[in-house]
Structure 1
Amino acid sequence: MGNTRAWPVLRTTDLAEAWTLAEKLLSVASWYDPDGCYLDAWAHDEDQFRRLTEAAPDANVRWYGESDDRCASVHRPATNLEQAREALGTWAGITRCYVLWHNLKWPAVPELGLDEEYKYAELQVASNTHTIHCEEWAPEHTVFIHARPGHDARATWLAAQVDAEVVGPPEFGW
């Protein structure tokens, strides 16, 4: 049992740029399962809720909070990269959201003494926010590398493989 740490490796107002970096990072993974991908978004009012569920009628919805402070979590799987990219683009135009790939394996990095990593290997593109949980709105989209706690060197190494760098401190993951 444990939680990942998530290192931001890009903050940009260009969602296509964030997506391109994510695809490059997926190519560094030893393997990934495109079915191991899902999207989450939060509706903070009725209009956002309506627009999210119209865009994804098959989404699962959970309500949180009291009547005046209620919000909905809208969740759906994605079966391939193109579907995930399109859904993220649509949802990012509505509210804060993210796409998360969780069936990854980061490669071994022998020069750093790091074995392959499966349990904590994840990749995330968070839209309109700087945090993995999308707590606060921001004008940028953020790409996060998730890895084992204490593996700062792995995050730095992974980012360097795609000509990126860690751009902020890690945050606690899931």
Structure 2
Amino acid sequence: MGNTRAWPVRRTTDLDEALTLARRLLSVASWYRPSGCCLDAWAHDDDDLRRLSEVFPGTRVEHYGEGGTALPALVSLNVADSDEAGEALKAWANITRCYALWHDLKWPAVPELGLGEEYKYAELQVAGNSHDIHCEEWAAEHTV
């Protein structure tokens, strides 16, 4: 068991810029499973839930409100590649706070910094309209 610790690499109001940086970082990673990317967004009202679910087929909805049937709800989507992730993140970021999370990867060693290969905690996330990994608070910026 580990503790989640994330360090922001870049914050920007330009989501395309954030996604371009994410693609550049992913280009140096080694993949165990290239399709290891998921998107999550929180729906706090019926309109957001409907809009998030309609944007892409295959979304899953898990209700967290009273009795597991009320809002808020977590809307999730698995994607095949970074292009699909970018498309989905842009669409969802126009609705609410959301994130794309790439996992099942390995960061290369950087011997000059004393860093070995890292796979246990190797993930990359772009948080849309948020500064934190759980997208709990709205922000005018996107965080890589």
TM exceeding 0.5: yes
Q: Pairwise mapping of residues 91-170 of structure 1 onto structure 2 (< 5 A)?
A: 91-143=92-144
Match of 1:70 in 2: 71
Mapped to 2, the partners of 1:77 and 1:9 lie a distance apart of 24
| Secondary structure of 1:6 counterpart | coil
**What percent identity do the matched residue pairs reach?**
69
Of stretches 116-125 and 24-33 in structure 1, the one that deviates more from structure 2 is: 24-33
Question: Deviation at 1:28?
Answer: 2.0
Question: Deviation at 1:80?
Answer: 1.3
Q: Give the aligned residue type for 1:45.
A: D
Match of 1:46 in 2: 46
Mapped to 1, the partners of 2:45 and 2:65 lie a distance apart of 12
Aligned-residue CA RMSD in angstroms?
Answer: 1.6
Mapped to 2, the partners of 1:111 and 1:4 lie a distance apart of 25
Higher relative contact order (CA 8 A, sep 6+): 1
Mapped to 2, the partners of 1:33 and 1:25 lie a distance apart of 16
Bigger fraction of residues in strand: 1
Mapped to 2, the partners of 1:34 and 1:14 lie a distance apart of 25
Match of 1:79 in 2: 80
> Could you tell me the TM-score, scaled by structure 1's length?
0.77
Does the CA-based 8 Å contact 1:109-1:115 persist in structure 2? yes
Match of 1:58 in 2: 58
Mapped to 1, the partners of 2:72 and 2:31 lie a distance apart of 35
Does the CA-based 8 Å contact 1:3-1:120 persist in structure 2? no
Mapped to 2, the partners of 1:98 and 1:16 lie a distance apart of 14
Mapped to 1, the partners of 2:82 and 2:113 lie a distance apart of 31
Q: What are the ranges of 5 or more consecutive residues in structure 1 without an aligned counterpart?
A: 144-174
Aligned residues: 142
Of stretches 128-137 and 56-65 in structure 1, the one that deviates more from structure 2 is: 56-65
Mapped to 2, the partners of 1:43 and 1:14 lie a distance apart of 23
